[in-house]
Structure 1
Amino acid sequence: MTSLILASQSPRRRQLLEQVGLTFTVKPSSTEEIFDKNMNPEDLVQKLAREKAADVFQQFPEAVVLGSDTVVAADGEVLGKPKDDADAKNMLRMLSGRTHQVHTGAVILSKGRETSFAETVNVTFYPLTETEIDTYIQSREPEDKAGSYGIQGLGAVFVKRIEGDYFSVVGLPVAGVVRALKEHGLG
């Protein structure tokens, strides 16, 4: 039987796949994420997801490999994971009281087949105070999150509204992935 490999170390992606009852192994990709500022965010997340999946697929060519990546975009600027607390603070200030986009790409590779897609979700934040931002940064939650927040954690209190797939904001368009996995003989 063909096995599924998640090419990501994200605990959120792992939890989402477990939530829908999929059996898989985790083999994080060793590729370095390089953001091409000239690419539109939907193409960028698919490119990054493809690079992760391809890296792992080379090692396990008989498996079905899932790669995924998420970025936040505001005013045309792509926001990845913050470099440090100051970067996180700047991102959260930028998102405060405004609508931004969360783009999550997924790529599934199997022998002779590739499926690639991206989901875009509009997320609107309440206006944030400096104290709210500082307290959130002190929680350490922003450290490994695109756009410096996690909707599934403490960052949930910032979110006034979302338009689109909640799970894509968490880090994986799980319904689309499950449907695509069927095309690769899984599920």
Structure 2
Amino acid sequence: MIPAFVLLASASPRRHEILDQLGVRHGILRVPPPAGEDEPRLPDESAADYVRRTARDKAQQALAWLAAGGRPGSIPADWPQGWEQTPILCADTTVILDDDVLGKPADAVQAAAMLRRLSGRTHQVHTAVVLAAGGRLLETCQISEVRFQALHAADIAQYCATGEPFGKAGSYAIQGRAAAFITHLSGSHSGVMGLPAHDTMRLLQQASAPASR
């Protein structure tokens, strides 16, 4: 069993689509910044610890925003009364190369620089998922390895010109034109997109199970 409804605290259309694919009824919770922005990495914080912390921070920000009177931006017509008790689902995805976090590019110059670094190399994609339910924060993290082909300058320029790198961790979207760059994937395709389907369903099932004493 999983919760009948969840609130997705994310503006990502990919995460919305993955929940739709899984048949998970959900509303959209558009928490104002800083929840939707890349957070700075703490001193001496590993890249893996960073993505887990930022996902937890998003969940805490969503809870605080609701407690302060925030409301979902979109909910199904048959949403039950008392939605304030509905579990909140948050996720954060980051691309990691050489223990560096490659976040969302600020402009085309930064996007091209990231893609040059990824060219011909294998990087990791960490997606941390946090579910705030019943006073608990349940969490998981899916790690995938992605290898890019060698990219020519023209490939990078043409890709950046599409606008697809913007708003994407690591400056690429695996579900878009960048799929042609990927020679190998080990892990979860949906996790690289931004929400690992299998891990998310297990987390939702865990939320419905009684808390251990």
Which stretches of structure 1, 4 residues or longer, exceed 3 Å deviation after superposition? none
**1:20 corresponds to:** 22
Structure 2: unaligned runs, 5 residues or longer: 68-83
> 2:203 pairs with 153, 169, 180, which one?
180
* Alpha-carbon distance between aligned partners in 1 of 2:17 and 2:109, rounded to the nearest angstrom: 29
Contact kept? 1:7, 1:56, Cα under 8 Å: yes
Structure 1: unaligned runs, 5 residues or longer: none
Q: Does 1:36 align with 2:44?
A: no
**1:71 corresponds to:** 94
**1:124 corresponds to:** 147
Which deviations, in whole Å up to 9, do the C-alpha atoms of 1:93-147 show, x marking residues without a partner? 0000000111110000012222111111110000000000000000000001000
Contact kept? 1:91, 1:147, Cα under 8 Å: yes
Q: Does 1:51 align with 2:57?
A: yes
Shift of 1:174: 1.5
Contact kept? 2:104, 2:170, Cα under 8 Å: yes
* Alpha-carbon distance between aligned partners in 2 of 1:75 and 1:46, rounded to the nearest angstrom: 18
* Alpha-carbon distance between aligned partners in 1 of 2:105 and 2:10, rounded to the nearest angstrom: 18
Structure 1 residues 81 and 155: CA distance shift in structure 2, 3 A: same
- Secondary structure of the equivalent of 2:151? coil
- TM-score, normalized by length of structure 2? 0.83
- Secondary structure of the equivalent of 1:120? strand
Name the Cα RMSD after superposition: 1.6
Aligned residues: 186
Q: Does 1:90 align with 2:142?
A: no
Contact kept? 2:142, 2:199, Cα under 8 Å: no
Q: Report % sequence identity.
A: 37
My pick for the range that moved more, 129-138 or 54-63, is 54-63
Shift of 1:41: 2.3
Query: Which protein is bigger by CA-based radius of gyration?
Result: 2
- TM-score, normalized by length of structure 1? 0.94
Shift of 1:178: 0.8
- Secondary structure of the equivalent of 1:144? coil
- Secondary structure of the equivalent of 1:122? strand
**1:164 corresponds to:** 187
1:93-104 matches, cutoff 5 A:
93-104=116-127
Which deviations, in whole Å up to 9, do the C-alpha atoms of 1:63-107 show, x marking residues without a partner? 100110111011111100001100000000000000011111000
1:36 counterpart letter in structure 2? R
